[in-house]
Amino acid sequence: MALQQGISELSSGEEHVVTAEGVPRYLNRDVAWLDFNRRVLALASDEAIPVLERARSLAYSAHNLDDFFQVRGAVLAQNVETGLSDRSPDGLTPMEQRELFRERSDDFARHQDTVYTESVAPALDAVGIHIFDYHQLGYGDRAHLDSYFAQQLFPVLTPLAVDPAHPFPYISSMSLNLAVVVADPLSREQHVARVKVPPALPRFAVLPDGDRFVTLEQVISAHLDALFPGMDIITHHPFRLTRGADFQLDSDEDDLLEAVRDVLKRRRLSPLVVRLEIDERMSDEVRDLLVRELEMDERDVHVVHAPLDLAALFELTALDRPDLKYAPWLPTIPAALVPQDAGFDIFAAVRAGDVLVHHPYEDFDASAVAFIEQAASDPSVLAIKQTLYRTSGKTSPIIRALIGAAETGKQVVALVELTARFDEQANISWAEALEQAGVHVIYGMVGVKTHAKVSLAVRSEGGRINRYCHVSTGNYNPDTARSYEDIALLTCDNEICTDLSELFNALSGYSRDVQYKSVIVAPQGLRAAIVNLIHREARPGGRIVFKLNGLIDPEVIDALYEASEAGADIDLIVRGMCTLNPAVSAAPERLRIRSLVGRYLEHSRVFRFGTAADADHLISSADMMPRNLDRRVEVAVPVVQSDLRARLDEIIDLALQDDTLAWEFDGQAWTRVPTGAGVNAQTALQERAARRNRSGG
């Protein structure tokens, strides 16, 4: 295939310029991220979307913003504090980056507040879901909450005084708190105390009818006299703290497991405050006290007009109100994987031809889980090798199957990526459970995350050893497979399976300069391969389509600029960050950027080079970002079977035709695509999955 021609040559990096003729060559990555989250937030105001789904979008936006502050806010603050002088690709100093971050994130937070107060809260009220102030309630409702406080809340609350005998307490990151000012009724001397809102309890107290709620901090505030008996309650204010959570592993640490545990400890006790959210009524005296005791910058204080921690709206989306949610979707089973009888053999199905699975339209359990479970129970399977980046909760079927396989004597290898951010503790627990069952657990390498999503089964068949593999763009997580759009390939192609065997050997042992025949692996050569494939299409009639989550790598962006100017027609479908500026290209009309934001999170990475029968198709775990290309183990796999390439073309074409979920970017702003034909790519893919299921193909 022509793909090999693109992989065979290595490209050389050149010095990147920041601007071209006064136009920014690369846009700011933090602004690009906020633009993405603004598209998520726009769903919350869309009256065409069911109300609880709008609340869910607002909760996602708030959760995303929390992560943004914990990670990027911390990185930028540390860069300034350590005196780093390197400019970003968009030409800003660390101080300029941090100030831009503060300005734009503060603006976004105010917009998020407005969406809640002017759009989501009134929409919830209109359908009978009410969030009340405690003092608005009648006697019976208050009595119900009084009982709830006495029985459920009071026993777990601990007021912490702040005075010379009681140092200011450590405030944990992302915790919701009350700053309470009390006065001695005799001396009238005032004191400040902190009360932490229990994170283990639901954020909303439910009134007896089940559709009215009061925030937990309001219930606590109404009963402060029980926590400070005999004292006068002068005032009380909620506040919420965000600390930096981006810690690097110690490269000198010999034990990666201990190094990750150290990172978790440092994260819990992080001294770096990157955001303080306060309610609009907080007094200047209390605000000044918090800023002083937290040793933070006044510019990182955010005054919030909506309830603090809008991610708590996820609780409301669990209400049993199907009339206020999207119609349920039951994933279909790919025709090749539909069991014909009790003895269905997934390996026989894969031998008959590669199988492409598209989540959430097609079933994760019937494909990825079934593959691992049959491999675990099949006596002909000798070994299973698996990467695990993020998986599901306490009952992961993938891990349960791997444990079962090891207990029956199979050779099982699991690479558990301990450094998957915010999943470290869960992955440590899984790794320990796997080790106890006899699984050979690999923890990865310091400085390089294993982000590839790969399973490999080695099977004895008629005296020969054959291999089967499952390669995905998404995690081995049944929970997210219901809401994340991803693509997986089941194959027994000898070259692909041999390459993946080599990859596992490289990850578990010692190797240098492994040569792969079919798959492309980062950090070894994925950037070079992608850049050379772009160069191959850099001509009149050339065609490139990327569908991915993030595009911020300067070298890849430069190659795309050059290709568009040489005559290639380029479409970029970027869910999240995009720092490419089409205005830089001399042919911006050939460099089109769009983003789809809808019911499902567009997560798959698909790369198509060329047209019609000559096109090369890759699916990958990698975005075009320096972290993926330089600091992660990623895999890109060619899809060569003509019917499966047609499936990928269908996915791409629908994304390009969409005029319901789609946004377009012109280098200045993201704007919604005007609705004409009314194409919703996600709805269309549901319909086509159902149609294929009915027709058996």
Residue spans of beta strands (DSSP E) within 566-625: 569-574, 591-596, 601-602, 605-609, 616-620
Residue 696 has pLDDT above 90, yes or no: no
- The pLDDT, as a whole number, for residue 251 is 46
- What pLDDT band is residue 650 in, cutting at 50, 70 and 90? very high
Q: Which of 284, 300, 323 is the last residue of a domain?
A: 323
Would you say residue 651 has pLDDT above 80? yes
Q: Tell me, what's the pLDDT at 15?
A: 44
Domain tally, the chain: 3
State if pTM tops 0.85.
yes
Residue 237 parent element (H or E) = strand 232-243
- Partners of 690 in beta bridges: none
In a domain, 110, yes or no: no
Q: Residue 299 falls within a domain, yes or no?
A: yes
Check which CATH number belongs to the domain holding 455 and give it: 3.30.870.10
Say if CB 384 and CB 505 are below 8 A apart: no
Encoded tokens for 443: 């923890």
**In whole angstroms, what is the distance from residue 177 CA to residue 309 CA?**
11
Banded model confidence at residue 164, pLDDT cuts 50, 70, 90: low
pLDDT category, 416, cuts 50, 70, 90?
confident
Task: For residue 395, count other CB atoms closer than 10 A to its CB.
Answer: 8
Same domain, 319 and 461: no
3-state secondary structure of 243: strand
Task: Give the bridge partners for 191, in sequence order.
Answer: 182
- pLDDT, tens only, 86-137: 899 999 999 999 999 999 999 999 999 999 999 999 999 999 999 999 999 9
pLDDT tops 50 at residue 11 = no
- In terms of DSSP bridges, do strands 273-279 and 176-183 run parallel, antiparallel, or are they unpaired? unpaired
Tokens of 185: 């009724």
H/E stretch holding 693 reads: helix 681-695
What is the average per-residue pLDDT within 539-564?
97
655 shares a domain with 554? yes
Q: In whole angstroms, what is the distance from residue 128 CA to residue 136 CA? A: 16
Distances (CA, A) of 459 to 179, 242, 375, 462: 62, 50, 8, 10
- Say whether both 201 and 277 belong to one domain: yes
Q: Kindly write down the DSSP assignment for every residue of 244-313, as one continuous string.
A: -------TT-S-HHHHHHHHHHHHHT---EEEEEEETT--HHHHHHHHHHTT--GGGEEEESSPS-GGGG
- List the single range of 3-17, 258-272, 516-530 with lowest mean pLDDT: 3-17
Q: Are residues 201 and 244 in the same domain?
A: yes
DSSP β-bridge partners for residue 387:
415
- 359 and 479 together in one domain: yes
Q: What are phi and psi of 544, to 5 degrees?
A: -135, 135
Whether 122 is in a domain gets the answer: yes
Domain endpoint, select from 455, 477, 508: 508
145 & 244 share domain: yes
Q: Which pair of tokens denotes residue 555?
A: 């070298």
What digits encode the pLDDT tens for the residues 678-688?
Answer: 999 999 999 99
Q: Name the more confident of 266 and 511.
A: 511
How far is 623 from 550, CA to CA, in rounded Å? 5
pLDDT tens per residue across span 342-357:
789 999 999 999 999 9
Whether 535 and 653 map to the same domain: the answer is yes
Mean pLDDT of 192-216: 94
Q: Are residues 316 and 365 in the same domain?
A: no
Burial class (CB in 10 A: 0-12, 13-18, 19+), 481: buried
Q: What is the model's pLDDT at position 5?
A: 40
Question: In the chain, pLDDT over 70 holds for what percent of residues?
Answer: 90
Report the candidate in 388, 523, 536, 358 with the shortest Cα–Cα distance to residue 455. 388
Q: Give the end of a domain, one of 454, 486, 508.
A: 508
Mean confidence (pLDDT) of the chain? 90
Who contacts 667 (Cβ-Cβ below 8 Å, separation ≥6)?
A: 23, 27, 581, 582, 583, 584, 588
Average pLDDT on 451-477 reads 95
User: Left if phi > 0, otherwise alpha if psi is -120 to 50, otherwise beta: which for 301?
Assistant: beta
Give the residue-averaged pLDDT of 323-345: 91
Burial 510-536 (b: 16+ CB within 10 A, else e): eeeeeebebbbbbbbbbbbbbbbbbbb
For residue 96, being part of any structural domain is answered with no
* Among 236, 358, 359, 451, the one annotated catalytic: 451
Q: Tell me whether residue 130 is one of the annotated catalytic residues.
A: no
What's the rounded mean pLDDT across residues 28-57? 97
Note the Cα 370 to chain centre separation in Å.
Answer: 25
DSSP code string of 62-107: HHHHHHHIIIIIHHHHHHHHTT--PPPTTS--HHHHHHHHHHHHHH
- 210 inside domain: yes
State pLDDT tens for residues 294-319.
989 999 999 999 999 999 999 999 99
Domain containing 690 equals 2-13+519-695
Backbone angles phi, psi at 468, to 5 degrees: -130, 145
Neighbours of 11 (CB within 10 A): 15
Segment 169-197 shows an average pLDDT of: 91
Let me know if residue 109 belongs to a domain: no
Distance from chain centroid for Cα 200: 23
Which run of H or E residues covers position 597? none
CB–CB of 682/600 below 8 Å? Answer: yes
pLDDT grade for 393, boundaries at 50, 70 and 90:
low
Higher pLDDT, 378 or 694: 378
**Separation of alpha carbons 191 and 185, rounded Å:** 12
647 domain-assigned: yes
* Nearest alpha carbon to residue 671 among 565, 593, 558, 579: 593
Q: What pLDDT, on the 0 to 100 scale, is given for residue 3?
A: 40
Residue 547 near residue 567 (C-beta atoms within 8 A): no
Nearest residue to 551 (alpha-carbon basis) of 600, 607, 601: 607
Task: Identify which has the larger pLDDT, 515 or 538.
Answer: 538
Give the mean pLDDT of 64-75.
92
CA distance 301 to 106: 9
Q: Which of 360, 277, 369 is nearest to 326 (CA)?
A: 360
One domain, residues 487 and 548: no
Pairing of strands 411-416, 543-548: unpaired
How confident is the model over 247-292, as pLDDT tens digits? 554 544 555 555 555 544 554 546 788 999 999 999 999 999 999 9
For β-strands 543-548 and 605-609, DSSP reports them as antiparallel
SS3 at position 163:
strand
Higher pLDDT, 487 or 171: 487
- 100, part of any domain: no
For residue 389, the model assigns a pLDDT of: 82
Residues 463 and 531 in one domain: no
Distance CA 28, CA 577 (A): 9
Answer whether 409's CB lies under 8 Å from 377's CB.
no
> Do 441 and 299 lie in a common domain?
no
**pLDDT for residue 697:** 65
The answer on pLDDT for 2 being more than 70 is: no
Convert 465-514 into a string of H (helix), E (strand) and C (coil): EEEEEEEECCCCCCCHHHCEEEEEEEECCHHHHHHHHHHHHHHHCCCCCC
Same domain, 410 and 481: yes
